[in-house]
Amino acid sequence: MLLLPISDDNPTQRRPVVMQAILAINVAVWILAVATGTGAAVFLKLGLVPGNFSFVNLITSQFIHTGIFHLAGNMLFFWIFADNVEDRFGRGWFLLMYLASGAVGAIVHAIAVSGTDHALIPLGGASGAISGVLAAYLVFYPQQPVRIFYLIFIYPGFFHVRALWVIGVYAAEQVVMILITRGQGGVAYWAHIGGFGAGLAFALADRMKRGLPEEILPAGEGWKRRIGKQPSGVTRIWKRLGAEALVRPAAPELPPIEVPFARIAQGWTVLRADDSLADVSAIASLVSRVTGEPLADVSRRIRATRGVLARGLSDQSAALLVKTLAASGGPPAFAVDESAAGPLPPPASASTAAAGPDGFVLEMAEGGKWAVPWTRVAAVYAARLDRRDPRASGGFTERFIETTLVDVVTRNPEGRIRLAQDVERSAAAASERATPAMQAFCASILRHRGSIPVNNGVAVAAGRGNWGYLRFPGEADYEDYAWWLAQLIRARSRGGIPEIA
């Protein structure tokens, strides 16, 4: 049986430039050594010999590998987990953490083998540094799902498990192997332990200073640096849809929409005022104690909606839950009267769309073309819906329908316009990428949005990062998530989070 992590479900906000550079250097060094037939000489030159200690080789030893499987295993784990750690630390601090973890791991190994024959054997590999990356990921994102590929005889498949278990098992394995081999085998387990400890220290210090990472992006100019040059495909889409209408409006502006607000249950809803990736179990336990709901139901709602903590409460119960969360170190929260807030308006469907400096041009599924200026846009959300294709299932034939949604939320009047694209894929061919046209559309939104709030999904749809917890199993869960975002943005626009008297 084979079990192999292949990806994590955790979106990023920036391109992981340092991660990509480190990965490229490792691969390039190995290819160059193999191509020139100097692999052994390179290992002796750049590796760290504990009995002949060199500070320079503390660094160079992190970029050499003994073979293709050594390199591939290290780079796979690095590729899965390092992008989010770099996103959290920032590029400079991530590079420092990575190199320091590798160096600490090498020093711990050198101390462990001093006085033995292993002190004369060169040490090489990125495992110590990558162990530090894994430790940092464990601190910041313990509950994030990691996708695991399995092969049982000839039957392949996938399942998800929390990062806490994947990284926890890895750390436990290093300790067990040290006990079995007494640190004298062909693998430098002490280097793994040392690197893990260094990464843990960096991450805990950062978490104590800044808390847990957040998902919701503040409106601002930062995205202009993150997106870079607009893909050339945007220009073609823009011209095809007649986007010059935004400059010389030939298309009518968004007409008034009669929104049929459905009646909803009376009561108060308690919402998170941020979206830090804290332990859902701890938050759900607090909510369950106050509301009396089953813990499993609360956990499922928080994981599915990200921000809806409790619903249908009296004003006294809602106020008590908000105060309990604050007193217990839980996430900041606020309460909303559902009867006053109302549901989201139903979305109108667009078949094609383009975004430019003046706003959107959308060809509607029911016919007609609308121009929506940025002054009429309240927010833009994007997400991924993953559904099994009922027409094909089981084994190699199992297929999924991946739907990328982009909702343009309008004001005056209040409404939503949705662009959705479906892609059918097999389980083995599942992808984080939206179609090229959708990527170009979302990149243009980020380029021109100004101060309009967007969620991380817009950047992911533009090709930056992966969907992670913005991947929903059904539309109902996404609608709850979008409703929470709408209330959060509304509360922030009023100058703060409301309190119940």
Neighbours of 274 (CB within 10 A): 16
Question: With contact defined as beta carbons under 8 Å apart, do 458 and 10 qualify?
Answer: no
Residues 205 and 90 in one domain: yes
What's the pLDDT score for residue 329? 74
In a domain, 57, yes or no: yes
The CB-side HSE value for 177 (13 A sphere, CA atoms) comes to 16
In a domain, 501, yes or no: no
3-state DSSP call for residue 16? Answer: coil
What's the pLDDT score for residue 194? 93
Residues 56 and 157 in one domain: yes
Q: How far apart are CA 204 and CA 140, in angstroms?
A: 9
What's the pLDDT score for residue 279? 61
Four-point Cα dihedral 257, 258, 262, 267, nearest 10: 80
Residues 244 and 376 in one domain: yes
Question: With contact defined as beta carbons under 8 Å apart, do 382 and 406 qualify?
Answer: yes
CATH code of residue 127: 1.20.1540.10
Please, is 167 exposed, middle or buried when counting C-beta atoms within 10 Å of its C-beta (0-12, 13-18, 19+)?
Answer: buried
What's the pLDDT score for residue 501? 29
Residues 202 and 313 in one domain: no
Neighbours of 363 (CB within 10 A): 18
User: Which of 172, 187, 210 represents a domain boundary (last residue)?
Assistant: 210
What's the pLDDT score for residue 183? 64
In a domain, 148, yes or no: yes
What's the pLDDT score for residue 246? 34
Number of domains in the chain: 3
The predicted model scores a pTM of: 0.55
Residues 335 and 356 in one domain: no
Q: Which pair of tokens denotes residue 468?
A: 């992670």
Crossing angle of the two packed helices 68-89 and 189-210, in degrees rounded to 10: 10
User: Which of 436, 451, 466 represents a domain boundary (last residue)?
Assistant: 466
Residues 368 and 248 in one domain: yes
Q: Which pair of tokens denotes residue 103?
A: 């160096």
Residues 40 and 115 in one domain: yes
Q: What is the mean pLDDT of each run of 10 residues along the chain (501 residues)?
A: 81 82 93 83 84 86 89 92 90 93 92 82 89 93 83 81 90 90 79 93 85 44 31 36 34 40 58 69 84 86 84 87 83 82 85 90 87 91 77 52 88 87 64 78 90 86 76 84 85 57 29
Residues 91 and 114 in one domain: yes
Residues 414 and 315 in one domain: no
In a domain, 472, yes or no: no
In a domain, 315, yes or no: yes
State the pairing for strand pair 415-426/155-162: unpaired
Q: Which pair of tokens denotes residue 44?
A: 């002796």
In a domain, 480, yes or no: no
Question: With contact defined as beta carbons under 8 Å apart, do 442 and 459 qualify?
Answer: yes
Question: With contact defined as beta carbons under 8 Å apart, do 385 and 403 qualify?
Answer: yes
Residues 135 and 21 in one domain: yes
User: Which of 288, 310, 341 represents a domain boundary (last residue)?
Assistant: 341
In a domain, 500, yes or no: no
Burial 173-195 (b: 16+ CB within 10 A, else e): ebeebbeeeebeeeebbbbbbbb
Domain span at residue 97 reads 2-210
Q: How far apart are CA 358 and CA 447, in angstroms?
A: 12
Q: How far apart are CA 140 and CA 100, in angstroms?
A: 19
In a domain, 486, yes or no: no
Residues 351 and 336 in one domain: no
What's the pLDDT score for residue 172? 92
DSSP state of 254: P
Residues 98 and 195 in one domain: yes
What's the pLDDT score for residue 213? 55
What's the pLDDT score for residue 41? 83
What's the pLDDT score for residue 260? 33
Q: What is the 3-state secondary structure (H, E, C) of 330-396?
A: CCCEEEEEHHHHCCCCCEEEEEEEEEECCEEEEEECCCCEEEEEHHHEEEEEEEEEEEECCCCCCHH
Which of 393, 377, 383, 390 is closest to 421 using CA atoms? 383
Question: With contact defined as beta carbons under 8 Å apart, do 80 and 145 qualify?
Answer: no
CATH code of residue 319: 3.30.1390.10
Q: What CA–CA distances, in Å, run from 117 to 51, 64, 113, 184?
A: 9, 21, 8, 9
